[in-house]
Amino acid sequence: MVYYIHMEKHEWSGEVAGLEHKGGEPHFIFEIMRTHHALMNFFSRKVGLPFSRVTLLRVLALAFPAEMGILEIARRLRINGAAVTRQIKEMEGLGLVRRMPDERDGRRSPVTLTAKGRKLFEQIHQRQHDFERYFASGELTLEELQTAAKVLIRLRSVLEKMD
């Protein structure tokens, strides 16, 4: 469930009424979440696929030609297996993935990308690089992008240690 809180912004300080920081620290986590949301929405519109499907395609593309089980995909994406199963069923219907029954364990059905799925991922991957080149072409410097990537990688590492 998502809760929305109406907050008034002070024109002169940039602070939200009643939520001023005591130590002057930035709203770092909130800005990451807002940026993540904006990137997901923008990128999903540009590639024509939900971001969740793009991430699942990426996991399978990185494993290709190997097959992956639903639970392994769920573990890598840090989501539950039921959500992965739903996505896989939809992607199977679109001809992007193929499930094959495991001869040793009938409960398992490893997944792999089809040729159509690989081609789509390659197109998406190219769009991602085009998008990053756009940022580096004047909106942000290459140094700024590299610094941001390093900070985000370190932040993710810290979070994984906390988890």
| CATH code of the domain covering residue 57 | 1.10.10.10
> Nearest Cα to 67, choosing from 28, 104, 40, 15?
104
Say if 11 falls within a structural domain.
Answer: no
pLDDT at 107 over 80: no
For the stretch 80-99, pLDDT in tens is 999 999 999 999 999 999 99
Residue bearing tokens 């942000």: 140
Say if 128 falls within a structural domain.
Answer: yes
Residue bearing tokens 């620290």: 25
Give the largest Cα separation in the chain, rounded: 68
To the question of pTM greater than 0.75 for the whole model, the response is no
For residues 73 and 94, what is the distance between their CA atoms, to the nearest angstrom?
19
**pLDDT above 90 coverage of the chain, percent:** 37
Say if 38 falls within a structural domain.
Answer: no
Say if 118 falls within a structural domain.
Answer: yes
Domain span at residue 64 reads: 49-162
pLDDT at 17 over 70: no
What pLDDT score does 20 carry? 59
